[in-house]
Structure 1
């Protein structure tokens, strides 16, 4: 299909959001039902490579396009921050593999669900952006922020539980780092929501 020059950015954002959502589904599934063969890790790495290619496309198009459909800074920041989510998912899964985390406790499982829900809202927001329904973006941005607030409470509770119950220093460090990495992913989702809201304000 042929797209106008300005549509290249929107089509790439759509591809980034779809790729991110598939990775989040894979991540959630791997956390809830770990595969002995580590197939999920391999697939996540493939999604991350796809994400890098899409981000490179955005950068390349920005470098050769004079008139862009959105502010250049917004386009760049949105692409980079969406890529940060995917990088965080991959990094967390790799670290869990290195640490041989076997107890996928309630905190880790719920975080994986929150990340997926946030990524689904990001994808819905991108659809609204592509269709220039800027005002409709706000509801999804608000939902992403609400989920991040839940993740904050979850992070605090997970640390309290860890301090209260874990007597093994090595295990303590392992789980603390995993909880922190999961929190960073949800924060990256919130960053995307904030960028989307700034785009809304500039275009509504």
Structure 2
């Protein structure tokens, strides 16, 4: 399909969203069913490289396009925050690999599920953005905010459990860092939702 010049941003956002969803699915699968070969880890590195290329496309097009379908600042902020989600997924999996994580406990598994659910809602929001159904973005933004609140509660509960049961300082530090890195991914999803809601406000 050949997109008109003004649609290059929307088509790239769709590509970013699809790429991000693949990464979130791989991430969740790797957490729930860790593979000895870490194939998910390798794939997510590939998705991250693709994500960087898509972000570069947005920046390049912004630099040479006079009329854009949305505010330039909104386009840039959305691209950056979508990339932050993917960067967070890759960084967390790399850290798990470095720490040789074996025990994917209930907190980590639920966090991976929340991240995937959030990314799915981000994708649905992007679909509404591209079709300019701005008002239809709000239910997905609300869902993302609710998932981020759950992630906050999960972080608090996981830290309480860690303090109560973990007596090895190195293990404590490792789990605390992974819990916090995963919660930061849901924060990035919420940032995307906030940007989309601001776009909604300006275009409805």
Q: What TM-score, normalized to structure 1?
A: 1.00
Partners in 2 of 1:107 and 1:50 — Cα distance? 29
Counterpart for residue 41 of structure 1: 41
What SS is found at the alignment partner of 2:120? helix
Partners in 2 of 1:6 and 1:26 — Cα distance? 32
Counterpart for residue 21 of structure 2: 21
Partners in 2 of 1:172 and 1:150 — Cα distance? 22
Counterpart for residue 70 of structure 2: 70
Matches within 5 A, 1:121-200: 121-200=121-200
Judge which range, 1-10 or 76-85, deviates more. Answer: 1-10
Counterpart for residue 55 of structure 1: 55
Partners in 1 of 2:137 and 2:199 — Cα distance? 9
Partners in 2 of 1:105 and 1:170 — Cα distance? 17
Partners in 1 of 2:190 and 2:121 — Cα distance? 11
Counterpart for residue 107 of structure 2: 107
- Offset of 1:186 from its aligned partner? 0.6
Partners in 2 of 1:40 and 1:3 — Cα distance? 32
- Offset of 1:8 from its aligned partner? 0.3
Counterpart for residue 7 of structure 2: 7
What SS is found at the alignment partner of 1:125? helix
Gaps of 5+ in 2: none
Partners in 2 of 1:3 and 1:163 — Cα distance? 54
Q: CA RMSD in A?
A: 0.4
Q: What TM-score, normalized to structure 2?
A: 1.00
Counterpart for residue 81 of structure 1: 81
- Offset of 1:141 from its aligned partner? 0.3
Pairs aligned (count) = 204
Partners in 2 of 1:198 and 1:108 — Cα distance? 31
Any idea what the Cα deviations from partners look like across 1:45-95, whole Å, max 9, x if unmatched? Answer: 000000000000000000000000000000000000000000000000000
Q: Which consecutive segments of 4 or more residues in structure 1 shift more than 3 A?
A: none
Gaps of 5+ in 1: none
- Offset of 1:2 from its aligned partner? 1.3
